[in-house]
């Protein structure tokens, strides 16, 4: 008797399960047609794209207060060697449609002061990166979502504010001088206070940090090339395309 009851209960559950699967005419969901919305879960070979987590206060119009200026037109002595305008960078991808360096006007004026201080010594500045649109920051994070190497776009980078610049030293003819590492090298020697043996690389690093500090730039401890202008925290994050800012030509690294 118990066996008969158990078998009957099992058949009843099986019937309910089959009904839930939906035989024709039972009111169950039909397969998705081609004109229905696609499911939110992506196929294994097609990663789902989530809406970007944009930081509060992100501005998409060129600022009128402390505007972005083209460094090549501000001072032609600056030598541009923009890593993200080529594939010669840590993501191996061209991230800037135009290889141009922009900064807020106040930060650009400070950079000219640094040049004035270095020129009598037969030295100049090599610019690796400056203002970076937030869209580029998101792309970097997409390729390398590691806060040790890339600023989380949910918070934004100081480059996104137009108040940070990556620079190295060059001689009077624009040739790069020896520095501790290449730009954007993720290794211990890239730290601004790395204990390097005494020699040209350490001497040039320390000279660069000293010259930039005298004009109100503070080096990022983990990167000898990254400098933030005083007052960076007072400037808004920007997502203004580089090509939207008027430009003039400038010198390129030999």
Q: Which residues contact 192 (CB under 8 A, 6 or more apart)?
A: 205, 209, 219, 220, 221, 222, 223, 224
DSSP 32: P
Assigned domain for 254 exists: no
**pLDDT digit string (tens) for 141-172?**
998 898 878 899 999 999 999 999 999 999 99
Tell me which DSSP letter residue 85 carries. G
Distance (Å, whole) CA 19 – CA 147: 50
Q: Tell me what percent of the residues of the chain surpass a pLDDT of 90.
A: 60
Answer yes or no: is 135 within a domain: yes
Taking 80 as the threshold, does the pLDDT of residue 13 lie above it? Answer: no
Cβ count within 10 A of residue 250: 20
Q: Give residue 74's pLDDT.
A: 94
| Residue 4 located in a structural domain | no
CA 39 → CA 31, 34, 126, 157, distances in Å? Answer: 12, 12, 49, 34
Q: Which of 94, 68, 73, 91 is nearest to 82 (CA)?
A: 94
- pLDDT band with cut points at 50, 70 and 90 for residue 248: low
Give domain status of residue 57, yes or no.
no
Residue 149, domain extent: 68-244
Average pLDDT (89-110) is 93
Report how far Cα 61 is from the mean position of its chain's Cα atoms. 19
DSSP state of 218: E
Q: State how far the Cα of 45 lies from the Cα of 43, in Å rounded to an integer.
A: 5
Phi, psi of 136 (to 5 degrees): -70, -40
What domain count does the chain have? 1
- Digit-coded pLDDT (tens) for 176-208: 999 999 998 889 999 999 999 999 999 999 999
Output the six-digit token pair for 113. Answer: 């002061």
Measured distance CA(148)–CA(58) in Å, rounded: 23
With respect to residue 14, please indicate whether it lies within any of the assigned structural domains.
Answer: no
Give the number of residues written for the chain. 254
Q: What CATH number corresponds to the domain at position 158?
A: 3.30.1380.10
Per DSSP, 65 falls in state S
pLDDT given for residue 52 in this prediction: 59
- Does 232 score more than 70 pLDDT? yes
pLDDT at 64: 87
Q: Which two tokens stand for residue 161?
A: 């504010």
Please give the helix or strand (H or E) that residue 125 lies within, else none. Answer: strand 123-129
- In angstroms and rounded to an integer, the radius of gyration of the C-alpha atoms of the chain is 28
The arithmetic mean of pLDDT across residues 84-107, rounded, is: 92
Distance between CA 243 and CA 77 in Å, rounded? 22
Instruction: State how far the Cα of 111 lies from the Cα of 78, in Å rounded to an integer.
Output: 9
In a domain, 219, yes or no: yes
Q: Is the dihedral of CA 168, 171, 103, 203 positive or negative?
A: positive
In a domain, 32, yes or no: no
């Amino acid at each position: 008797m118990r066996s008969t009851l158990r078998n009957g209960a099992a058949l009843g559950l099986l019937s309910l399960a089959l009904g839930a699967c939906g035989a024709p005419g039972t009111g169950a969901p039909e397969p998705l047609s081609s004109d229905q919305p696609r499911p939110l879960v992506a196929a294994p070979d097609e990663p789902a794209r989530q809406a970007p987590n944009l930081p509060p206060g992100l501005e998409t119009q060129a600022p009128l207060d402390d505007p972005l200026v083209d460094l090549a037109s501000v001072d032609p002595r600056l030598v541009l060697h923009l890593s993200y305008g080529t594939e010669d960078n840590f993501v191996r991808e061209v991230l800037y449609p135009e290889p141009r360096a922009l900064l807020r006007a106040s930060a650009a004026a400070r950079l000219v002061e640094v040049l004035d201080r270095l020129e009598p010594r037969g030295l100049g500045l090599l610019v690796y990166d400056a203002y970076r649109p937030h869209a580029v920051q998101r792309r970097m994070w997409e390729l390398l979502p590691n806060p040790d190497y890339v600023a989380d776009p949910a918070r934004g980078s100081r480059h996104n504010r137009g108040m940070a610049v990556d620079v190295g030293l060059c001689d009077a003819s624009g040739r790069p001088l020896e520095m501790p590492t290449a730009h954007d090298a993720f290794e211990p020697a890239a730290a601004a206070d790395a204990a390097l043996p005494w020699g040209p690389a350490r001497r040039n690093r320390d000279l660069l940090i000293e010259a930039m500090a005298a004009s109100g730039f503070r080096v990022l401890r983990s990167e000898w090339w990254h400098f933030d202008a005083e007052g960076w925290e007072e400037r808004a994050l920007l997502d203004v395309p580089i090509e939207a800012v008027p430009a003039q030509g400038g010198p390129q690294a030999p």
